[in-house]
Structure 1
């Protein structure tokens, strides 16, 4: 069930009002405080209800369309572009605009409306009255082309209420608004950095990925950085800098006419965009009146719905899009349903906080890895990849701070995260950089959401979400998507806890980390065929096993384990075995004392047979590192 914003329940409030007693929202009054905190609108503002602006007002006129919207005087093209994207997806807008038929103007009209937004992991139901700000009788913010259609203006008012006032919506990111409409995961693409237009193979793969995301219901937007030019200045080909465009279609279009086109099967990737201004279009190749349209047949042109009008919507080639736009947001609507014909994901959601504490073991805002002394004091989330290899999607979202703009704050924190590989049996928090292997890292940006897509081999991992600077406090939501359940969970404890039976069974005295890098197997004839080596590391009553490396005499394991040891004098063993069609063959072992004063650098040791330290040598060597400490929070 959606949460009622500020405890205002739509159904209850509507029962208390009617045409003679219209609702007036005390939580978002028709005053200047709801308009701005710093820069007032350019004129005398009067708040008017739709019935005072036009005759016969409606929520929708002839349905909902991406063509309905035009931007007002506030700089919120990002929000208008997101609304245009929303209008294309009935499954989304019907959730954002609930009970839309019941909310239309009729005998039940009471001046009250409600909208829903997905805010930081939950749906929020926002109630508003329908008094809208006007100057000279005209709406000054988001508006529809039809002067008696008001869904966009009312939706914008509800969104402004969430963030304190209309001015708080000035300047933003289209992807953020789409997330608030859907709960999507945003993948930000730096088109300028990637230079897809210069590498055809790379561009082709990107188009296929984009087309797949679009066909799966994804929402796409793009923009052009001003880069020294004036904000909203125009390029030579009609595009607007510092301006958000919504993508309204992605297609591979067939070239040619008639049967020749059918048999030749030559296509070109095209993309359609819309300017939130409702005018000012691209004038290059594949624009409304360009000669390129003569290359395709009438049927194909009809399917694309080409209109020669300055309505803000236009087509362009995918290559030109990659070349002329600098940034794109792909909002993925993640399918987590088990009953689906499309790719479904296993989702793990964790909420956390970066909090400051004088005790290093309790501090949870250690900053990025540049802060080596405090980096591992950040929150840590452990997950497993149980397949041989799995695609992992990670989304880190900080709580929106836009609502604090009125207090002169509201800037996002610079956030990011790092994925590290850890011991296969790790259960407690990380305390030492030497025990982990860094696998992937995000950049750090003052963005509301950071996203990463990576491929990880089988193993255990920890993702560490951080702010860039240490001791910066904030809230975040971490979402992780894998093909199968990853068991993602926060690491909270630093070491084993004492229990009521601890005096009877004892408590760990030291902690030992073992890392096995590789092995060399001496085999008669040096034939690797059929030699599938794997490791078993044993300590007291515990043991861990690595995956087998197929047909190798020089396996690289990069495998590690950690043990909290009660019997300090009892040695640890690292055994090397070969899995030969289910018949395991012993290849040798090394015995380690695991004392705190032992050598801690990588060392190469001779394999021996089972038995005492003086046991016979076995053909082969193993390279490993062992770290032991009597401080249980050292590793």
Structure 2
């Protein structure tokens, strides 16, 4: 039995009207200029005896005869990226493999699977959304091309926890297309309910040079990563290629799967980092590749051990090479089995958690930053600290929610129902530049104008266009006033204020609006964070003024680059059947994917390098020029 689904290319523009696949077997979507409409049948998996359906039925062209949810060997469940630009999400999924209790939080144990007679063709997962865990149920149909999964998959293709979780995430965010480009930190928060930090290696390098200590801050960061490697996920990303070295592409996220400190033959300390590319191909041609000259500096036994543990898509780089090639590191806070976060800095358990929702209302409580006279009208919160504590305070923005039922709107969990979200929210375009400042007060009845005119005891360095910003501070016992704000005045938004502390704290609504203006302080907003994502080779970027992007599909050979700014010609994708694990109306619709670039395509350099190559020595194109990781 086949259920045929006519759909456009999985990576084209969004349809203005997307009928529910649960109600109709045939859905028409817009096609793009570069890809034909694909016939996409969705099929069922092998049925086992005792199923509610007849066991004598023969299902053809199944993905596999013996599907498994999880692998016995962690390497078999290693994440691999497909045609979708969601490397940022896949890197966060790798965090679940490090801790079984995190995986059980997302995949509740005890669910019937394919080999159970009670299996009904669906799975339930949990995703953390705006302060609470939301249960999401999907069927087990998955999109395939040419007989293989076209989006994410595990190292062993009979293991399906990853593509199923990707479908859950696609349902939460509206469709697969809305997973195209994003931040690793955002996905980590959604999958763990914790916190994640992004460290800019470029900023650390500039800070070190200004302090006449070249390399100091960056090297301390690598040593900190060494101490954190077994407790949390570490991801790194490339935002722009170095001059003459485009091997790692642009806007692509990687996983730091291991760190090793070796003793060199000359007695020096050598720190090596094992990098996993979600593309799943070994393309690195640096000195620490297999047979590279870097291994001559260490003992042959160490070389044999480290090279033997490499999986597909992994390669070793030295500390100096890592700092030179990568722009940013994302680290998820460790989470204990009791559900408590641990500090990245002190290792203390942040056992005490408080959170309260709030909103900036235009004309009432959207006072803007400290440059504006309306700053005192921003929402305020009392924070009471009962003992000396290490405190992390975070402001999480909520995407705009639109009226339900509007055509072309994606859907996401709000309350107990699925409410429509603005499409811009998936692209990060409706997130405001936000900041957070904390003042210490002697008592709860204070003169707000006087308090807000003094320097805060803690605050974000600047307002950032991120979904969540947070700060760390050491606080003594007493009362504190926390004021989250947007950089611009009169911009409405909702937020969730979260506080994680090593000591006892309480959080409550603060005083009413103060009317006096605080002194002008030079607040500034940083540009929107680059979101990570890549398009397949030569595909057009529909949101970047109609210009095609030069992007690196995994392992595909690159065409010869022209002069600076030359863009490659497009190529069509061959039509290929789409299959699934079970023929049932999909809970998360497969829709054409839209690139999330908000700026015109970046110009391309004509310089090339041979250190990062595809099969047969063919150079790979850089990743997409969008602002997101793919």
TM-score range, shorter chain: 0.5 to 0.7
Residues 415-445 of structure 1 show CA distances to partners (whole Å, capped at 9, x for unaligned) of 3323242431134683456543233334222
Give the TM-score normalised by the residue count of structure 1. 0.63
Task: Confirm or deny that 1:55 pairs with 2:69.
Answer: no
Match of 2:217 in 1: 202
Residues 396-420 of structure 1 show CA distances to partners (whole Å, capped at 9, x for unaligned) of 2112568589754313412332324
Match of 2:431 in 1: 413
1:236 to 228, 233, 245: 245
CA 142–192 in structure 1, closer or farther in 2 if over 3 Å, else same = same
Residues 573-601 of structure 1 show CA distances to partners (whole Å, capped at 9, x for unaligned) of xxxxxxxxxxxxxxxxxxxxxxxxxxxxx
Task: Confirm or deny that 1:246 pairs with 2:264.
Answer: no
Q: 2:291, 2:140 → 1: CA distance?
A: 41
CA 463–285 in structure 1, closer or farther in 2 if over 3 Å, else same = farther
Task: Confirm or deny that 1:255 pairs with 2:264.
Answer: yes
1:32 Cα deviation (Å)? 8.0
Higher RCO (Cα < 8 Å, 6 or more apart): 2
2:298 to 282, 296, 299: 296
1:164 Cα deviation (Å)? 1.1
- SS of residue matched to 1:489: strand
CA 71–334 in structure 1, closer or farther in 2 if over 3 Å, else same = closer
CA 35–305 in structure 1, closer or farther in 2 if over 3 Å, else same = farther
Residues 341-376 of structure 1 show CA distances to partners (whole Å, capped at 9, x for unaligned) of 962124332232224264xxxx22222222x22212
Q: Are the counterparts in 1 of residues 205 and 215 from structure 2 also a CA contact under 8 Å? A: no
- SS of residue matched to 2:83: coil
Structure of higher CA gyration radius: 1
Match of 1:352 in 2: 357
- SS of residue matched to 2:349: coil
Match of 1:366 in 2: 367
CA 40–152 in structure 1, closer or farther in 2 if over 3 Å, else same = farther
Q: 2:237, 2:78 → 1: CA distance?
A: 21
Match of 2:226 in 1: 211
Q: Are the counterparts in 1 of residues 189 and 196 from structure 2 also a CA contact under 8 Å? A: yes
Match of 1:467 in 2: 486
Match of 1:146 in 2: 156
Task: Confirm or deny that 1:322 pairs with 2:323.
Answer: yes
Residues 376-399 of structure 1 show CA distances to partners (whole Å, capped at 9, x for unaligned) of 211112335566x75432222112
Residues 37-72 of structure 1 show CA distances to partners (whole Å, capped at 9, x for unaligned) of 999986333323344223222223444437633212
Residues 535-565 of structure 1 show CA distances to partners (whole Å, capped at 9, x for unaligned) of xxxxxxxxxxxxxxxxxxxxxxxxxxxxxxx
Task: Confirm or deny that 1:71 pairs with 2:81.
Answer: yes
CA 293–352 in structure 1, closer or farther in 2 if over 3 Å, else same = same
Once the two structures are superposed, the pairs formed by residues 515-526 of structure 1 within 5 Å of their partners are none
Once the two structures are superposed, the pairs formed by residues 160-179 of structure 1 within 5 Å of their partners are 160-179=170-189
- SS of residue matched to 2:91: helix
Match of 2:287 in 1: 285
Match of 1:430 in 2: 448
CA 460–323 in structure 1, closer or farther in 2 if over 3 Å, else same = farther
Q: 2:352, 2:21 → 1: CA distance?
A: 36
Q: 1:175, 1:37 → 2: CA distance?
A: 33
1:338 Cα deviation (Å)? 8.9
Q: 1:202, 1:492 → 2: CA distance?
A: 40
1:242 Cα deviation (Å)? 1.0
Q: 1:422, 1:326 → 2: CA distance?
A: 36
Match of 1:157 in 2: 167
Q: Are the counterparts in 1 of residues 439 and 452 from structure 2 also a CA contact under 8 Å? A: no
1:76 Cα deviation (Å)? 1.1
1:468 Cα deviation (Å)? 2.1
Q: 1:202, 1:281 → 2: CA distance?
A: 29
- SS of residue matched to 2:473: strand
Q: 1:157, 1:39 → 2: CA distance?
A: 26
Q: Which moved more, 1:418-427 or 1:193-202?
A: 193-202
Q: 2:146, 2:45 → 1: CA distance?
A: 14
CA 162–123 in structure 1, closer or farther in 2 if over 3 Å, else same = same
Q: Are the counterparts in 2 of residues 57 and 149 from structure 1 also a CA contact under 8 Å? A: yes
Q: 1:466, 1:339 → 2: CA distance?
A: 25
Task: Confirm or deny that 1:222 pairs with 2:236.
Answer: yes
Task: Confirm or deny that 1:271 pairs with 2:289.
Answer: no
CA 97–298 in structure 1, closer or farther in 2 if over 3 Å, else same = farther
Q: 1:140, 1:30 → 2: CA distance?
A: 23
1:331 Cα deviation (Å)? 0.9
Match of 1:125 in 2: 135
- SS of residue matched to 1:73: coil
1:446 to 465, 483, 486: 465
Match of 2:334 in 1: 333
- SS of residue matched to 2:75: coil
Q: Are the counterparts in 2 of residues 274 and 313 from structure 1 also a CA contact under 8 Å? A: yes
1:95 Cα deviation (Å)? 2.2
Residues 487-536 of structure 1 show CA distances to partners (whole Å, capped at 9, x for unaligned) of 333314569xxxxxxxxxxxxxxx9xxxxxxxxxxxxxxxxxxxxxxxxx
1:162 Cα deviation (Å)? 0.8
Gaps of 5+ in 1: 1-24, 496-510, 512-635
Task: Confirm or deny that 1:395 pairs with 2:394.
Answer: yes
1:187 Cα deviation (Å)? 0.9
CA 303–37 in structure 1, closer or farther in 2 if over 3 Å, else same = same
1:171 Cα deviation (Å)? 0.9
Residues 142-183 of structure 1 show CA distances to partners (whole Å, capped at 9, x for unaligned) of 123433222211111111111111111111111211221111
Give the TM-score normalised by the residue count of structure 2. 0.63
Q: Are the counterparts in 1 of residues 123 and 138 from structure 2 also a CA contact under 8 Å? A: yes
Greater share of residues in strand: 1
How many residues are aligned here? 453
Q: Are the counterparts in 1 of residues 77 and 159 from structure 2 also a CA contact under 8 Å? A: no
- SS of residue matched to 1:352: strand
Residues 424-480 of structure 1 show CA distances to partners (whole Å, capped at 9, x for unaligned) of 113468345654323333422222121222345666432211222222222222222
Report the aligned-residue RMSD.
Answer: 3.8
1:244 Cα deviation (Å)? 0.9
Match of 1:343 in 2: 348
Q: 1:115, 1:34 → 2: CA distance?
A: 29
CA 178–441 in structure 1, closer or farther in 2 if over 3 Å, else same = closer
CA 434–415 in structure 1, closer or farther in 2 if over 3 Å, else same = closer
Q: Which moved more, 1:145-154 or 1:63-72?
A: 63-72
Q: Are the counterparts in 2 of residues 237 and 284 from structure 1 also a CA contact under 8 Å? A: no
CA 91–315 in structure 1, closer or farther in 2 if over 3 Å, else same = farther
- SS of residue matched to 1:437: coil
1:194 Cα deviation (Å)? 1.4
